[in-house]
Structure 1
Amino acid sequence: MNLFTPVIPEARWHPLFKMILEGDYAPERDVFARWAQGFEDRDGKFVKEFQLSFESCLWELYLHASLKELSLPVDFSHHAPDFVIGGPRPFNLEATVAAPAAGGKPAYGWTKDDIPEDLNQFNVEAALRICNSFSYKLKRYKEHYATLPHVAGKPFVVGIGAFDRPLAHFAGLRPVVAAFYGLYHDEEATARDASEVVSYNVTSAPKNENVNIDVGLFCDDTYREVSAVVYSALATWGKVRAVADNPNAATLYTTIHPQAGTIYPKVLQRLKRDYSEHLLDGLVVLHNPFADHPLPDEVFDHPRVAQFRPDATGELIERAPDDFLQVRMLQSIVERDDQSEQSA
């Protein structure tokens, strides 16, 4: 599958596809080639969609690469869902992205004007987009996937990538934890000298003045058909650049990680030649404690993957690397009109 041989007119190319195709990005194109190894274009439309819409295909390729990294075998002989995983703990995984609302700005090409002034509103809107994508896939499961013999009786997982707005990656895990567990961490309400971030439970988020949307979707058995959600806000073009073998790139990586004993994160800055990132850094599995077919923790057991699961008392238990990658920003100087390229 040759992703970078154009199959649609240039006028229809996605801006990021055009940039990667025409720019000095051979190492990054190699990353896409590795991720695509073994991937089967079952309906013959994937290359076209990659060049046209890009981000949803990037997310699907990232999930494919992650499954390979976890040694989880994928059976592409079925037309759906996206990934039918075999082995000793079989399950099915359907990919989707949290996309911009109608008329909303795309995730790529952000400027300083896109930096949110109200972080809470930013997170609320992100949570709503996550819930919207999840609900669509649940509907698809009930209407179609659940009737398939290779799906019935097995865990069903929804993989959600965050591409819902400029700087979508900046929200980290705040919106997805609120969306599925009804727990919101409110930095804006937290005093600078506090020892803990202010947190509280939420059951809904305002879509507009008259409509509220339910959150905390894994707090009861309403969505028991879904076993877990696999999520990342960092499986973006920035991830491709981070794992590419391109040590001479003039790129500065700024990353944010937890820091023991304080609410303030650890902020690191490194040039590309000094920076390394694992494929699975930033990947999170959110388990549904009410699932009809629970997904065993062992399926995604990897030192770079974070997993969330409520215990019997309802307390949310987190297993994550101490240096979990919360946010990644990169800045590159490009030889083009003296402009600065910025990526997530």
Structure 2
Amino acid sequence: MSRDLFAPIVTDEQAHHLFQRVRTGAPHAAARRLMNEVFADFHDVDKSFVREFQTGGFSARVFELALFAYLREQGLIPDRSHAAPDFAVLGDTPVAIEVTTTNPAQGSEPDDLEYAPLLHDDLPEADKAFVFQLGKALRRKLTHRDASGRAYWEKEHIRDVPFVIAVGAFHNQNAQMHVVGTVAEYLYGQRDVFTYDTTGKLTITADRVERHESGGKSIPSGLFQMPEAKNLAGVLFSNAHTMGMFNRIGAESGYGPDGVAICRVGTAYNPDANASEPRPFAYVVGDRPPGEQETFAEGLHLFINPWANRKLSPQALPGIPFANFTHGRLVTMVPNSFQPFTSKTFVVEHPQAQQIARYQQLLFLRKLPSEGAER
């Protein structure tokens, strides 16, 4: 018997507003079909996934399902026979993954991502506040203990397996505009500084970051080097694994209905060795050739902790960029030429949806110097 994530099992009053928005209607039809296909192979060990997906855990469960889709896409079959951590991939290059998200503060605006503006009113301050959200999410998992007093990495079935925390950004309407550089600064306690010499050649130097400050609060930088993180082998970060990703990949798979078009705009890795800024991109979903279509690996970034007790091999989580701190420098390896940093999805429902989407594509590229992107 097939399982339908979108068949309500809770009342309208209990249902999350984003679940209510996407469970019916043509704009999200592709996402619904693809998510149900992925969920068909997903073992819900504690039988709570659907209820959480339909209520307050909507965004976190979307992120978890997208990570499962990534693992399956890479031919990795996680052990889902235990409730925690969320994924245990065993074999020659094992890794255990616990999933978490940055979440809205209690009483704040809900994580309504669909109608968020392109840019935060105060981007530098938003980045500073994001570090606190990231630190809180990571420490929540590092300090967690089960009923027997065991941490995630102390559980018998993953003993001696490198432990990774996967973090998705969902704490406010602009959460997914934060780029991986901010995450790296907090984890490694180092910031890259880009300058050009008189010939126009790019020079990169490193500045030590001692603390992060926001809203009158201060926390130390360099989480990976702290004693509390000695069992944290790495952090897997995403600002892209949302309902929009399922919608785009589903549409590229032919699941989108007539009269609906999707335009994706954003910024991506710039392969120019002399570039200090990402490059813009914009495309209408369905235009990319089969070999270049979106995968669930896009938008994932792995940060390896070189000071961890159990070392993590980058081959444990293949197909994604990974960063490591070697010889006093932060080095990032990018496996593919197209690696998005931030993006936003526009879904158009109209008899001339394709024409409108192409107009949005051109409009974004023309206005990019004065606008940014998120999600």
TM-score range, shorter chain: 0.7 to 0.9
**Amino acid across the alignment from 1:319:** M
Alignment partner for residue 253 of structure 1, among 258, 264, 267? 264
**In structure 2, C-alpha distance between the alignment counterparts of 1:115 and 1:328, rounded to whole Å:** 11
Identity among equivalent positions (%) equals 23
Q: For residues 118 and 108 of structure 2, what CA distance do their matches in structure 1 show? A: 12
Listed one character per residue, the Cα deviations across residues 95-124 of structure 1 (whole Å, up to 9, x for unaligned) are 100112333333324656683233221111
Corresponding residue of 2:333: 319
The 1:216/1:105 distance shift into structure 2, 3 A limit, reads farther
Give CA deviations for 1:59-98 in whole Å, capped at 9, x if unaligned.
1111111111222221222232111222222231111001
In structure 1, distance between residues paired with 2:247 and 2:374: 9
Match of 1:127 among 123, 127, 131: 131
Do the aligned residues in 1 keep the contact of 2:191 with 2:209 (CA within 8 Å)?
Answer: yes
Summarize the Cα distance change of 1:329–1:185 in structure 2 as closer, same or farther, 3 Å threshold: farther
Mind listing any 5+ residue stretches in structure 2 that lack a counterpart? Answer: 351-356, 358-372
Which of 218, 221, 244 is the aligned partner of 1:212?
218
Contact in 2 for aligned 1:110/1:167 (Cα 8 Å): no
Contact conserved, 1:169 with 1:234, CA < 8 A, in 2? Answer: yes
Match in the other structure for 1:174: 181
Task: State how far apart, in whole Å, the 1-side matches of 2:269 and 2:344 are.
Answer: 16
Segment drifting more, 78-87 vs 226-235: 78-87
Query: Is contact 2:104-2:170 (8 Å) kept?
Result: yes
Q: Does 1:86 align with 2:90?
A: yes
Q: Is the 8 A contact 1:127 1:178 kept in 2?
A: no
Match of 1:242 in 2: 248
Name the TM-score, length of structure 1 as normaliser.
0.87
1:221 positional shift: 4.8
Seen in structure 2, the aligned counterparts of structure 1 residues 281 and 114 have a Cα distance that, compared at 3 Å, is closer
For CA contacts below 8 A with separation 6 or more, give which structure has more relative contact order: 2
The reply to whether residue 137 of structure 1 matches residue 137 of structure 2 is no
CA distance in structure 2 between the aligned counterparts of 1:314 and 1:100, rounded to whole angstroms: 35
SS where residue 107 of structure 2 aligns? coil
How many Å separate the matches in 2 of 1:226 and 1:86?
17
Q: Which one is further off, 263-272 or 57-66?
A: 263-272
1:273 counterpart residue number: 286
Structure 1 residues 48 and 111: alpha-carbon distance in aligned structure 2, compared to 1, 3 A threshold: closer
Number of residue pairs the alignment of both structures matches: 335
RMSD: 2.9
Shift of 1:332: 2.4
Equivalence for 1:8: 10
Contact kept, 8 Å, 2:53 with 2:59, in 1: the verdict is: yes
3-state SS of paired residue (2:142): helix
How far did residue 194 of structure 1 move?
9.6
Find the aligned partners of 2:166 and 2:116 in 1 and give their Cα distance: 30
